[in-house]
């Protein structure tokens, strides 16, 4: 922080009153006109915000037209489950084993 700000501190009530009186003397009659135009600007801004909110609400409540339904063909039923086949032992695969001739 700035060391000058810490040394002087923030302006108190008396200082703010003195600053307001000086501003009134400097600006004189223009100060109420400025305040009035600032007030009107704020009112217009709030009206604009209300209008935008109203438009958004209206648009969100508008129903979209229903899409024409196309003629649908019935979907075929899924195939019925097949009963499990009887388990038979798999034939032995002897090709994996190599037979070596035994000497006689």
The predicted pLDDT at position 81 comes to 75
Rounded Cα gap, residues 39 and 34, in angstroms: 9
Residue 85 has what pLDDT? 67
Minimal CA–CA distance to 31: which of 23, 22, 21, 43? 23
CA distance 41 to 35: 10
Q: Which residues of the chain have pLDDT under 70?
A: 1-7, 62-74, 85-104
pTM of this structure:
0.36
Domain-by-domain residue ranges, the chain? Answer: 35-61
């Amino acid at each position: 922080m700035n060391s000058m700000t810490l040394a002087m501190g923030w302006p108190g009530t008396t200082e703010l009153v003195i600053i307001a009186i000086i501003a009134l003397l400097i600006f004189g009659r223009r100060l109420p006109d400025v305040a009035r135009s600032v007030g009107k600007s704020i009112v217009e801004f709030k009206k604009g915000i209300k209008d935008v909110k109203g438009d958004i609400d209206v648009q969100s409540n508008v129903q979209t037209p229903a899409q024409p339904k196309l003629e649908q063909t019935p979907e075929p039923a899924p195939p019925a489950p097949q009963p499990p086949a009887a388990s038979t032992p798999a034939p032995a695969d002897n090709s994996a084993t190599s037979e070596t001739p035994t000497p006689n």
